Amino acid sequence: MSGWKLATAAIGAPDLHFHDLRHTGNHFAASTGAGLKDLMARMGHDSERAAMIYLHETRGADLAITAAIDEHVKSARDRDGEGSA
């Protein structure tokens, strides 16, 4: 059994692939607000295509953040007796 298979079995993640770690790292990098060229350099890609995939994935986080902010403002208005705007 390879070292990778032994390691992933030892942590209870036998189906984990090395590429999964790369994907996660790139996703985290994109969520920091890194630009396209920075992501390309980090990933070692000459093509913008792969980096754009990660940038598009982080757009969903923007929607979740916006919804949370809206809810916070609405709750604050309701507490202050202003009602909805």
Contact by Cβ (8 Å): 39, 26: yes
Domain residue ranges in the chain:
3-79
Q: What is the pLDDT of residue 82?
A: 63
Question: What pLDDT digit, counting tens, does each position of 10-41 carry?
Answer: 999 999 998 898 888 888 888 887 888 998 99
Distance CA 37, CA 39 (A): 5
Summarised one tens digit per residue, pLDDT across range 30-74 is: 888 788 899 899 989 888 888 888 777 666 666 777 788 899 999
In order of 66, 68, 72, 75, the CA distances from 81 in angstroms are 23, 20, 14, 10
For residues 10 and 62, what is the distance between their CA atoms, to the nearest angstrom? 36
Is the pLDDT at 2 greater than 80? The verdict is: yes
The pLDDT score that the predictor gives to residue 31 is 82
